[in-house]
Structure 1
Amino acid sequence: MEVLLEVVLQFVGEIALQLVIEFLFELGFRNLGAPFSRPASPLSKTLGYILLGGVAGGMSLLVVPHLMIQNGWLRMANLVITPVTAGGIMWFLARKKVRKNAPLVALDRFGYAFFFALAMSSVRFLWAS
């Protein structure tokens, strides 16, 4: 039972770290994006979020230099579970924003949030101690 709780808490920690960073990026894009009103293509947005996710993953290693998940195969599972969960949470929160008529940013869409989290978790997977 303790092992299961430990595994769940490790996944929750990794997901929480990625969500906090995604929310910070979303706030930044909402405030900085207004002057740049020309819409970007979906491909360039996707590549941009992959790049930003990689940068965020590298920056997160400065704050939390080790993976919270210690087991090797669970680290591999984290590469799928965390991006899907982060994308789903961002999509869910976007639905709430739509109901309140709040403005959306690209990171509010599942795909962009997924690729951001995938790049971030990949960098953390490859470079964490």
Structure 2
Amino acid sequence: MEFLFEIMLQFVGEILLQVLFEFVVKLGLQGLGAPFSSPKSTLFKTFGYILWGAAAGGISLLIIPSPIIENNGLRIANLIITPIAAGSIMWLLARKKVRKGAPLVALDRFGYAFYFALAMSSVRFIWA
């Protein structure tokens, strides 16, 4: 039972780390990018969020250099589970923003949040 609890806690830690970095990037984009925003292609935005995610993964390695999940099999599962969870959380929060009439940024969409989290998880998987 302790082993199962430890595994769940490790996954929750990874998901929280991903969502925290996504919020930081989202706030930065809203505050700094709004005056310069112009319509960009979907491919350009996707590539940009992949680069932002990789950068966030590198920064997270400076803060937490060792892997949160130690088991290699679980780390591989984390590459699939965490981006889906982070994208879903961002999508659910975006639905609340729409109800309140708040403006959305691209990271509020599941796909962009997924690619951001996938890039961040990949960097952490390779170098942590």
Q: Same fold (TM over 0.5)?
A: yes
Segments of structure 1 that go 5 or more residues without pairing to the other structure are: none
**Corresponding residue for residue 47 of structure 2:** 47
Query: Could you state the TM-score of these two structures normalised by the residue count of structure 2?
Result: 0.99
- The whole-number CA distance in structure 2 between the counterparts of 1:29 and 1:112 is 13
Do structure 1's residue 67 and structure 2's residue 36 form an aligned pair?
A: no
**Corresponding residue for residue 89 of structure 1:** 89
The one-letter amino acid of 1:91's match is W
Aligned length: 128
Shift of 1:69: 0.5
71-80 or 34-43, larger mean C-alpha shift: 34-43
**Corresponding residue for residue 15 of structure 2:** 15
| Identity rate, percent | 69
**Once superposed, which parts of structure 1, at least 4 consecutive aligned residues long, lie more than 3 Å away?**
none
Secondary structure of the 1:35 match is helix
Shift of 1:35: 1.2
- The whole-number CA distance in structure 1 between the counterparts of 2:51 and 2:37 is 21
The one-letter amino acid of 1:110's match is F
Shift of 1:37: 3.0
29-38 or 78-87, larger mean C-alpha shift: 29-38
**Corresponding residue for residue 32 of structure 2:** 32
- The whole-number CA distance in structure 2 between the counterparts of 1:127 and 1:37 is 33
The one-letter amino acid of 1:35's match is P
Query: Could you state the TM-score of these two structures normalised by the residue count of structure 1?
Result: 0.98
**Corresponding residue for residue 119 of structure 2:** 119
TM-align CA RMSD: 0.5
- The whole-number CA distance in structure 2 between the counterparts of 1:37 and 1:28 is 13
Structure with greater proportional helix content: 2
Secondary structure of the 1:53 match is helix
Segments of structure 2 that go 5 or more residues without pairing to the other structure are: none
- The whole-number CA distance in structure 2 between the counterparts of 1:40 and 1:116 is 17
